[in-house]
């Protein structure tokens, strides 16, 4: 699937000054879409990494840098994990 992004011509100069060419802009848009779709549970972690054209571990690190968790647990799940960890520690 190909997507075309048409930007207003008056944005060309500020984007260029900020270091954005077509390639960099495309890369960043894919990363932002991947993060958004991952956060909305539209794409899995692996699928989002593919959309971002990043290796899985690089995408996980990218999410971490953005302060985005790769897994969300409710209180009960956290308690179960802590109990399992304690059991394994003993």
Query: Would 3 be classed as within a structural domain?
Result: no
Q: What percent of the chain has pLDDT over 90?
A: 63
DSSP 8-state symbol, 42: S
- Our measurement of the distance from residue 74's CA atom to the centroid of its chain's CA atoms, rounded to an integer in Å, reads 21
The total of structural domains in the chain comes to 1
Query: Would 1 be classed as within a structural domain?
Result: no
Q: What range defines the domain where residue 53 resides?
A: 9-89
Query: Would 35 be classed as within a structural domain?
Result: yes
Query: Would 4 be classed as within a structural domain?
Result: no
pLDDT for 73: 67
Helices (H) and strands (E) in the chain, counts: 5, 0
Query: Would 84 be classed as within a structural domain?
Result: yes
Query: Would 55 be classed as within a structural domain?
Result: yes
- Mean pLDDT of the 48-77 span: 89
- Mean pLDDT (the chain) is 89
pLDDT band at 80 (very low <50, low <70, confident <90, very high): confident
Quote the pTM value. Answer: 0.74
Query: Would 2 be classed as within a structural domain?
Result: no
Q: Are 43 and 37 in contact (CB under 8 A)?
A: yes
2 vs 56, residue with greater confidence:
56
């Amino acid at each position: 699937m190909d997507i075309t992004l048409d930007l207003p011509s008056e944005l060309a100069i500020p984007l260029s000054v900020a270091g954005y060419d077509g390639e960099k802009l495309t890369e960043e848009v894919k990363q932002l879409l991947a993060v958004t779709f991952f956060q909305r549970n539209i794409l899995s972690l692996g699928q989002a990494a593919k959309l971002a054209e990043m290796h899985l571990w690089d995408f996980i690190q990218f999410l971490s840098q953005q302060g985005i968790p790769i897994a969300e647990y409710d209180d009960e799940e956290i308690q179960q994990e802590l109990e399992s960890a304690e059991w394994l520690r003993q």
